[in-house]
């Protein structure tokens, strides 16, 4: 029996694929930076440095997502009254944009938490904390 669900529009499918790719790159880059921080190869960053790192990684991932977004499917396509006057089929790309934005925001929070956790678990930091507890 054929499925009653129709395939996603090409714009929505392209946006979802771009969001997944950008999300994967964001996670990979955050993991690499976390390894560098834990290993001490990141030249003793401060907590503010680590927060900026997370923001920079996230901004780069969002820029890659914007670059990979098909024309007319980006956030600028939502601006203005013409976006609300579109046909009902226009709802799918808008939903895909919202979904991509939420996905990127959640991944950015995860990346920030991962980097801060790595910063707090550096070898020198752990030894210093143990000393104070005794």
- Looking at the chain, the whole-number percentage of residues with pLDDT higher than 70 is 72
Q: How far apart are CA 41 and CA 61, in angstroms?
A: 23
Q: b vs e for 35-57, b when ≥16 Cβ sit within 10 Å of the residue's Cβ?
A: ebbbeeebeebeeeebeebbeeb
Q: Is 89 helix (H, G, I), strand (E, B) or coil?
A: helix
Residue 41, φ and ψ in degrees, nearest 5: -80, -5
- Mean pLDDT, residues 4-11 taken together: 76
Residue 62, pLDDT > 80, answer yes
């Amino acid at each position: 029996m054929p499925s009653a669900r129709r395939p996603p529009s090409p714009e929505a499918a392209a946006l979802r694929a771009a969001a997944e790719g950008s999300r994967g790159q964001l996670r990979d880059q955050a993991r690499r930076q976390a390894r560098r921080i834990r290993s001490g190869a990141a030249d003793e960053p401060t907590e503010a440095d680590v927060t900026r790192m997370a923001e920079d990684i996230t901004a780069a991932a969002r820029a890659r997502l914007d670059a990979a977004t098909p024309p007319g499917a980006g956030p600028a396509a939502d601006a203005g009254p013409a976006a609300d006057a579109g046909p009902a089929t226009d709802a799918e790309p808008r939903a895909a944009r919202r979904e991509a934005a939420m996905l990127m925001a959640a991944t950015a929070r995860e990346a920030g938490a991962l980097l801060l956790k790595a910063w707090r678990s550096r070898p020198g930091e752990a030894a210093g904390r143990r000393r104070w507890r005794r």
